[in-house]
Structure 1
Amino acid sequence: MEYTMLFSPVTINKLTLKNRIVMSSMVTQYAASNGEVTDQMIHYYAERARGGVGLIMIEATYVERQGDSYKFGLGADTDEMLPGLTRLTNAIHACGGKVGLQLQHGGRTANPLTNGGPIKFVSYIPGVTPYEGARVLTKEDIADLVKRYAEAALRARKAGFDLVELHGAHGYLLNQFLSPFTNLREDEYGGSTENRLRFPLEVLKACREAVGKDFPLTVRLSVEEFNGTGLTLESSLPIAQAFVDNGIDALNISVGACETNHYTIPPAVLPEGLNADRAAAVRRAVEARVPVAVAGRIHNATLAESILAEGKADIIVMGRPLIADPYLPVKSQADRLTDIAPCLSCNEGCVGIPFGNVTCAVNPRAGQEARFPHIKTDTPKHIVVIGAGPAGIQAALTAKEKGHHVTLIEREKTLGGLLHVACRPPHKEAFEKLRLYMEHAVQQSGMEVLLGTEADVSLIRSLRPDMTVVATGSEPVVPGFCKNSGAVTAQEVLLGRKTGQKVLILGGGLVGCETAEMLAEQGREVTILELRDTLAPDMEKRTRIFMMARLKELGVQALLNTEVLEVSGLHVRVRSPLHAERSLDEFDSLVMAFGYRSRNLLQQQLAEAGIPFTAAGDCVRPSKVITAVRQGFQAAWPL
């Protein structure tokens, strides 16, 4: 497919971009503790520039140290930041990219633990804004902040940035002034839309004076906040018009605020391109006088092209997909769609940052580009990988990329392991895309693949590997009290096993809740029994917000703080602090969702036989895809 519009140039003020893909600003936590640019940050952004994106928008960058919202936030508040910022722009330009800097002040979202405080907010809101270590901005403070924004914008131009964006979205300071939820001021900076616009427009005018009329200035706006009294699309249209009337060069449309950032970084339950119609409304309101950009689960070139072709926006903003695959633009333009690593919208690495800063569930190199370069080994070896789930496939692909001869062994007749299960719950279709991507990558690699083959010590010895990677995965836990009870596993249900009308799910973790949602959508009456006091505490928090709401809407019941004592047929004996012991006899199907246990028998056999190996994935400890992929990569990288 040809993406005629997506890969056509677009002009913002005097700046022409080679295509209409903008990498969204996403805070990486790669900055130094004092806010300076680091080598890690430079390598990360340079890789995305090599991937062909039209413009890279560098993450929220504070204009005042007390406005820093993060532990390792990027700063543009002093001239001491200029050398690092200049190195960053030079690196991106050297890779053929254009780069913008997003200017931000956290306001009530600032982090006093790292920026020294105090927290500065627009107005005090009981129960929302803090009382201690905080204060409301005075008019003198406001005037000072206008100056700081302008000085930071000038630094950005001096450092070689091609564009500056004002962050007026997602609950940061400019958004706090614009929103009637956070702006309860009674002076000239609060009340009417005109007054709430006063500070943001003062910032715009000061920045324009600092950088000149020919330098591109854009603004990111949350046009809907989903918090009751905050901004709605209707109330945001005059705000967008005011920015255009006052000389903004482009509008970047998003949604969400502090308490509703699960819409800002939308999980897979929300539709792809969820903000396209909102951007279209803004574009109509401003009569397309400036380019309008839109973000929000636009993960592929086909959807991006359709949004442009329908006139809903002029520019497509992608964030997480370019973390997953920096080369999405060049691969899309070359019609190599099957070579693109798919973003799962899982938020496990980019937002959950389990390893300290931004990474990715499907791209273990994200943020580690210098540490793990694409290089070939000088001493090719024979690597045997046992198990073709995410960990095993990643290990095999990594070893093959480095130039080793690889044999991948899988006891089933298909590749993918538990990805076959992970893709079955509602809204998890992206996990099937990941399986197909990995399957295609294995086929393209030319490695030797043995399907339907049970690996044992004898087979491994006959292959004479230089190193063996064991990734034999995990299997559902079936407690002794459930054996011979007629209960089925959640995995069996997800793969198509039929249940009765009234279903009791034993276990309310991630898998139990996903299974409950699937069955409830099929019209079953579902109850979840959980030993802990909450459901799915292991679920990514944004995804969990939507999950809990959906379970409630579907009528799923939960028995929390409840222990299973005995299962006999459909008779379940339980105990809880509220009800002591009692019997549950009203269900006609029992589903076990007690988690997974490692398959590690082969590891024991190899150790006894004296065959060296490295283990990765669920056979070490059952976990999520992000951990499996990371461990598979790390198992193969040193080889």
Structure 2
Amino acid sequence: MERKYPNLCKPIKIGNVNFKNRMFSAPVGGTDITADCCIGPASTAFYELRAKGGAAAVTVSECMVHPETDGSHAYHLDTTTPGSLSGFTYTADAISRHGAVASVELSHSGQYGGTYLTDKNKKQGLAQFGPSATVRPDGLEVQELSKETIADIVKAYGVCAGLAKKTGYGMIMIHGGHGWLLNQFLSPYFNKRTDEYGGCLENRARLALEVIDSVRSAVGPGFPIEFRISGSELFEGGYDLEEGVRIAKLVEDKIDLLHVSAGTYQRGFGITHPSMFVPHGCNVHLAAEIKKHVKVPVATLGGLNDPAMMEEIIASGKADVVEMARALLADPELPKKVITNQDDNIVKCLRCFTCMAERAVTGTRRCTVNPLIGRELNGTEIILSATPKKVLVAGGGPGGLKAAITAAQRGHQVILCEQSDSLGGILKGEQAIPFKYEMYELGETLGKLAADAGVDIRLNTAVTKDYVENEKVDALIIAIGSEAIVPSLPGIDGDNVIVVNDYYLEKDKVGDSVVVLGGGLAGCEAAIHFAQEGKTVHLVEMRDELAVDANIRQRPLLLQELEKNVTVHTGYKGLSVTNEGLVCENPNGTSELVPGVTILCAVGQKARRPLTEELLDCAPWVAQIGDCVTPSTITTAVYQGYHAGLDI
């Protein structure tokens, strides 16, 4: 068979182990962590899904090696905690039985121990340890690690590595990047020591080298050791790429795979995990430069989800392996689809941070485009129905499409009606905003998958009570979505006003200065887009805060983008639209003109309830999903659509 992406599909030998392709599942924190910091059954199923999807290696994240000084958010692996060894063993079994190599990431949070604990009272009671005594930005004091404790931590890495090998793991990843302990020692920003662990780079790298030696002693020669570094810390005071090259050269003879990431969680979250506001593969240049100076294989990552881009990375010699985290949450079968030349069926990651926000808020996982994530124990296979039915789905947005696909996969006869001339629903509007284009592509991909599943797609077809009754269906799924709220302001119907849902159809009408009315997520993203185009942008919001509907990971990055080139007016109430701009009542209660030749209205959405309620009694079984119930998110629509399709 001729592979479309031969370099991605090519095996690679790392240490004494053969990996079946060049696509690895990068470390992702699990979905359930027991009170004793063990791997729960939900996490086992979570990691297995990536192995089933064809990844050559799946890394479990993170195992904190030294609980005495690190009370952080992840797993412990020791012989004293009941369930620790069995949890790791079951997970290694679940990964390796699908032909993937099971790996575990060994880590220590250093001065950020406990940062992500959900028990904030316990967090405040923890002692924080780092290379040097300091006070964290949040006010917590950090104690300098003694040489005796350093030696104990080094030993702990080896003990955990030996146990990981014993429980079935075929590779060890040592986390030396992202602002955790080993990176803190490597970094001149964090490390102010004056002994043999501080000062020159050789001293700052001493702990990392000792840790690698400890792991090697435990696992033996030929057992793959992957070492993760930040190729550059990418902030003032941290080390740069030139020093990243020197770090790589210091460790290369002791390891089997050099994993080059970027930045630190504490100083650049949106760089370490590239946001939608930066290009895909923005960190690949770090791996490419380091690869020129080392003989060991190099892995790269950073917002990668396009097989063509990843193929070029391998083919051109920028890296030997590509690693993905969020992309394999969105579509665990991405590697399998690449190998079988079905890349046009890949559901791409939106880089929306729903997955990471959910972990921080509830301690679980959820993915906007993949309803299985975090819920794998509920079942990942779609079972054929014993009694196939005739199903009508009203609405071709993300929820309706997911419902139609799922129902068709269950063997039902499915009709999907969309009143407009194209699928995608509200996602169609995202084609006009480059950093949200993958949301538009989601609608296109789901449309293809629906057609491939045998769904009878009828465009330009409005669903009415008579239409449903004439079709004589057994089940109706109502997914007709929402419509934009347009406030009753004088002048709001003028030619200089565009409703955000229609922007993609009228973008040529936008002038050089824009007032965005509405500071929710949609309005903020539109304002950022206009600013990136070089327009003068004013953003008007009645409330005191912007983007309150954004998740906790996305919102800080969104606000950073707004600070660059958008003039923000919070506490402003729109009164009327003129040719000169938007007249507002400012926080002082007086009238003020916010200037702009174009007004973009983005004040929110409202459910299409009248038609929804008209359809409720049109079939024996009726489900309502997504925005027609209440305006929500793509996540909600996709999740509800999937389960509506299963429920028939």
* 601-610 or 500-509, larger mean C-alpha shift: 601-610
Which consecutive aligned stretches of 4+ in structure 1 deviate over 6 angstroms post-superposition?
608-611
* 1:328 is the counterpart of 2:334: yes
Query: Aligned ranges for residues 372-383 of structure 1 at < 5 Å?
Result: 372-374=379-381, 375-383=383-391
Shift in Å, 1:414: 1.1
Q: Report if the CA contact (8 A) 1:67-1:104 is conserved.
A: no
**Aligned position for 1:209:** 217
Match of 1:180 in 2: 188
Paired residue for 1:96?
Answer: 99
Q: Is the 8 A contact 1:426 1:517 kept in 2?
A: no
CA change 1:182–1:551 in 2 (3 A) is: same
CA drift of 1:440 comes to 0.6
1:223-238 maps to which residues of 2 (within 5 A)?
223-238=231-246
Q: Describe the shift of the 1:606–1:166 C-alpha distance in structure 2 as closer, same or farther (beyond 3 A).
A: same
Q: 1:451 to 1:610 in 2, by over 3 A?
A: closer
1:358 aligns with 2:359: no
* Alpha carbons 2:515, 2:595 under 8 Å: kept: no
In structure 2, do the counterparts of structure 1 residues 603 and 60 end up closer, same or farther at CA, with 3 Å as the change threshold? same
Tell me by how many angstroms 1:398 deviates: 1.2
Q: Distance in 2 between matches of 1:186 and 1:232?
A: 21
Are 1:590 and 2:575 counterparts? Answer: no
Q: What RMSD, in angstroms, separates the aligned Cα atoms of the two structures? A: 2.3
Q: 1:575 aligns with which of 572, 576, 585?
A: 585
Q: Is the CA contact 1:494–1:515 (under 8 Å) kept in the aligned structure 2? A: no
Q: Name the structure 2 match of 1:368.
A: 375
The reply on whether 1:446 has 2:426 as its aligned counterpart is no
Per-residue CA deviation, residues 382-401 of structure 1 (Å, 9 max, x unaligned), is: 22211110011111111111
Q: How far apart are residue 136 of structure 1 and its match? A: 2.7
> Distance between the aligned counterparts of 1:334 and 1:223, measured in 2?
33
1:600 aligns with 2:609: yes
- Residues 1:360 and 1:68: Cα distance change in structure 2 (over 3 Å): farther
Structure 1 residues 567 and 445: CA distance shift in structure 2, 3 A: same
> Is the Cα–Cα contact under 8 Å of residues 581 and 599 in structure 2 kept in the other structure?
no
Give the structure 1 partner of residue 4 of structure 2.
Answer: 2
> Structure 2 counterpart of 1:495, which letter?
L
Which residue of structure 2 aligns with residue 476 of structure 1?
A: 484
2:529 aligns to what?
518
Which residue of structure 1 lines up, in the alignment, with residue 305 of structure 2?
A: 299
CA distance in 2, matches of 1:407, 1:151: 58
Q: Label 1:42 to 1:94 Cα distance change in 2 as closer, same or farther (>3 A).
A: same
Q: 1:534 aligns with which of 523, 545, 556?
A: 545
Aligned-pair identity in percent equals: 33
Q: Which amino acid aligns with 2:8?
A: L
Task: Output the TM-score relative to the length of structure 2.
Answer: 0.92
User: Is the CA contact (8 Å cut-off) linking 1:493 and 1:515 kept in structure 2?
Assistant: no
The alpha carbon displacement at 1:251 in A equals 0.5
Match among 117, 122, 126 for residue 131 of structure 2: 122
Segment of structure 1 superposing worse, 521-530 or 235-244: 521-530
**Contact 2:233–2:262 under 8 Å retained in 1:** yes
Structure 2 CA distance, aligned partners of 1:79 and 1:273?
42
Cα distance between partner residues in 2 of 1:610 and 1:57: 47
Which amino acid in 1 is paired with 2:126? G
- Opposite residue 506 of structure 1, the aligned amino acid is L
Corresponding residue for residue 108 of structure 1: 111
Unaligned runs of 5+ in 1: none
For structure 2, the residue ranges without an aligned partner over 5 or more in a row are none
Distance in 2, Cα, partners of 1:20 & 1:382 = 43
Deviation, structure 1 residue 129: 6.5
Determine if the alignment matches structure 1 residue 489 to structure 2 residue 513.
Answer: no
Q: May I ask how many residue pairs the two structures share in their alignment?
A: 632
Q: Report the equivalent of 2:641.
A: 632
Query: Partners in 2 of 1:509 and 1:391 — Cα distance?
Result: 22
What is the rounded CA distance, in whole Å, between the counterparts of 1:216 and 1:341 in structure 2? 31
Corresponding letter in the other structure for 2:612 = Q
TM-score between both structures, scaled by the size of structure 1: 0.93
User: Structure 1 stretch 351-360 or stretch 446-455: which is displaced more?
Assistant: 351-360
85, 88, 112: which one pairs with 2:88? 85
Residues 239 and 376 (structure 1 numbering): CA distance in 2 closer, same or farther, change over 3 Å?
A: same
Residue-by-residue CA offset, 1:413-472 (whole Å, 9 max, x unaligned)? 211101111232131121232122111111111122222111111111222222221111
CA 1:226–1:543 in 2, change beyond 3 Å: closer, same or farther?
farther
Aligned residue number for residue 26 of structure 1: 28
Corresponding residue number in structure 1 for 2:567: 557
Alpha-carbon spacing, 1:199–1:473, altered in 2? closer, same or farther (3 Å): same
Alignment correspondent of 2:258: 251
Structure 1 392/609 Cα, relative in aligned 2: closer, same or farther at 3 Å?
A: closer
Structure 2 counterpart SS, 1:475:
strand
Helix, strand or coil for the counterpart of 1:26? strand
CA distance in 2, matches of 1:18, 1:600: 51
Amino acid across the alignment from 1:187: D
